Amino acid sequence: MNDFKAEPAALREAMAAAAARVFASGWYVLGQEVQAFERSWAERCGTRHCMGVANGMDAIELALRGLDIGPGDEVITTPMTAFATVLAIVRAGAVPVLADIDPDTALLDPDSVRRCLSSRTKAVLLVHLYGQVRDLRDWVELCRAAGVQLIEDCAQAHLARWDGQVAGSFGAAGAYSFYPTKNLGAIGDGGAVVTQSEELAQRVARLRNYGQSERYVHPELGMNSRLDEIQAALLSERLKWLEPFTERRRAIAARYDAGIDNPRVRSLAPARQPQAHVHHLYVVCCEARAELARHLGEHGIQTHIHYPVPAHRQVPFVSLRRDPRGLPHTEAHAAACLSLPCHPQLTDDQLEAVIAAINAFR
Ligand SMILES: *Cc1c(COP(=O)(O)O)cnc(C)c1O
């Protein structure tokens, strides 16, 4: 599913030099490398501000806390996501409410979100699942009309664009993860909050560092969620490769779309705009998923499932409020989805072997 050791030698050498640069500098947390990366990531996202933080889950929690969303407040999100999305809402002290997905894309269904709104709703946490952004103008309008904040979980959608505008720049805040397997990944944990708001940026910058406004002065209680210099320096090098790597992901996905030809295997709906999908994952649905995964495994092809147990089936979340009509599309997707190898180092031969194995599945 990933092959970091096959990355270009030029990238690996540049990363080694970047790490050596930090080691020689003698400054290891929240310094010039972090500032330089924050500047370039904000520029790429088209936002005025970027704050490097410790990971993607903290980025969501910090965005929520920075917007004063906490105890007594509800945040609507999807159960078809990484556990961290929903956990971050709880960590912020707020209450997650779970809406159902659109079966064609596995993205949040706006009608289901409307059914989940209440007088306590403060935000919609929109997850750009698998790397897809879609109908962002409509989401901005839905949230505006409902009087709630839009927050984007961009952990899988690095630089995906809708109408030319980048993920994370539509809502009040965007939360990015730089976990190693993400489209832009560190050599360890990392994350970022991006925003247009100067006020939110300053609040998040304070909250990530114990709530400290200036040295030894703490007007509020924050957390320790800082980005290391070494991760920032490595991210700056890896950022130079993000575009070609994303193009490779797109080419792989296009080949899967065209080449997979098996009535038992359904791909998700294609992106409506060419830049709107960065293919963090390529996901198919198959009613005989276990058999398909075993068949592929026998051909030496690894697969994963994103996600087999949706949030509302996780023990701490079983009693969370949800769409009054239930979550039938989430249930169906969780039972059938299978993620195929889709990463920049996948070779054409490997890609053709996956397609041939899928098409031979009976
Ligand atoms: C990876 C991921 C996160 C959490 O990011 P971490 O850096 O692992 O904390 C949150 N949401 C989604 C959709 C993710 O894929």
Asked if residues 126 and 116 have their Cβ atoms less than 8 Å apart, the reply is no
What span, in angstroms and rounded, lies between the C-alpha atoms of 110 and 102?
9
Q: Are residues 152 and 20 in the same domain?
A: yes
Task: Report pLDDT for 208.
Answer: 98
Which ligand 1 atom sits closest to the C-alpha of 179? Answer: 7
Which ligand 1 atom sits closest to the C-alpha of 182? Answer: 1
Asked if residues 187 and 49 have their Cβ atoms less than 8 Å apart, the reply is no
Q: Are residues 220 and 71 in the same domain?
A: yes
82: CA distance to ligand 1 center in Å?
6
Q: Is 167 near ligand 1, meaning CB less than 6 Å away?
A: no
Task: Report pLDDT for 78.
Answer: 98
Q: Are residues 225 and 256 in the same domain?
A: no
Residue nearest to atom 2 of ligand 1 (CA): 155
Which ligand 1 atom sits closest to the C-alpha of 280? Answer: 15
Return phi, psi of residue 111, to 5°: -65, -40
Question: Pocket of ligand 1, candidates 1, 57, 64, 78: which has the most ligand atoms within 8 Å of its Cβ, to mutate?
Answer: 57
CATH number of the domain at 274, please: 3.90.1150.10
28: CA distance to ligand 1 center in Å?
24
Task: Report pLDDT for 280.
Answer: 98
Task: Report pLDDT for 148.
Answer: 98
Task: Report pLDDT for 276.
Answer: 98
Task: Report pLDDT for 13.
Answer: 98
Task: Report pLDDT for 38.
Answer: 98
Q: Is 62 near ligand 1, meaning CB less than 6 Å away?
A: no
Q: Is 81 near ligand 1, meaning CB less than 6 Å away?
A: yes
Task: Report pLDDT for 305.
Answer: 98
Among residues 239, 258, 275, the one where a domain terminates is: 239
Q: Are residues 179 and 262 in the same domain?
A: no
Task: Report pLDDT for 76.
Answer: 99
Task: Report pLDDT for 200.
Answer: 98
Q: Are residues 87 and 149 in the same domain?
A: yes
Task: Report pLDDT for 227.
Answer: 98
What span, in angstroms and rounded, lies between the C-alpha atoms of 229 and 25?
10
pTM: 0.98
Which residue positions in the chain have pLDDT lower than 70? Answer: none
Q: Is 84 near ligand 1, meaning CB less than 6 Å away?
A: yes
Q: Are residues 136 and 179 in the same domain?
A: yes
Task: Report pLDDT for 104.
Answer: 98
Q: Is 57 near ligand 1, meaning CB less than 6 Å away?
A: yes
Among residues 239, 262, 280, the one where a domain terminates is: 239
Instruction: Write out pLDDT tens, residues 146-159.
Output: 999 999 999 999 99
Task: Report pLDDT for 128.
Answer: 98
Q: Are residues 114 and 194 in the same domain?
A: yes
Q: Are residues 226 and 301 in the same domain?
A: no
Strands 282-285 and 74-77: unpaired
Task: Report pLDDT for 265.
Answer: 98
Q: Is 153 near ligand 1, meaning CB less than 6 Å away?
A: yes
What span, in angstroms and rounded, lies between the C-alpha atoms of 347 and 361?
22
In the chain, how many domains are there? 2
Task: Report pLDDT for 147.
Answer: 98
Closest CA to 50 of 179, 166, 145, 188: 166
Task: Report pLDDT for 319.
Answer: 97
Closest CA to 124 of 54, 180, 63, 181: 63
Q: Is 156 near ligand 1, meaning CB less than 6 Å away?
A: yes
48: CA distance to ligand 1 center in Å?
23
Which residues lie across from 191 on neighbouring strands?
53, 177
356: CA distance to ligand 1 center in Å?
32
Return phi, psi of residue 228, to 5°: -75, 150
Q: Are residues 95 and 79 in the same domain?
A: yes
Whole domain around residue 248: which residue ranges? Answer: 242-359
Q: Are residues 153 and 17 in the same domain?
A: yes
80: CA distance to ligand 1 center in Å?
12
Q: Are residues 219 and 261 in the same domain?
A: no
Task: Report pLDDT for 330.
Answer: 98
Task: Report pLDDT for 165.
Answer: 98
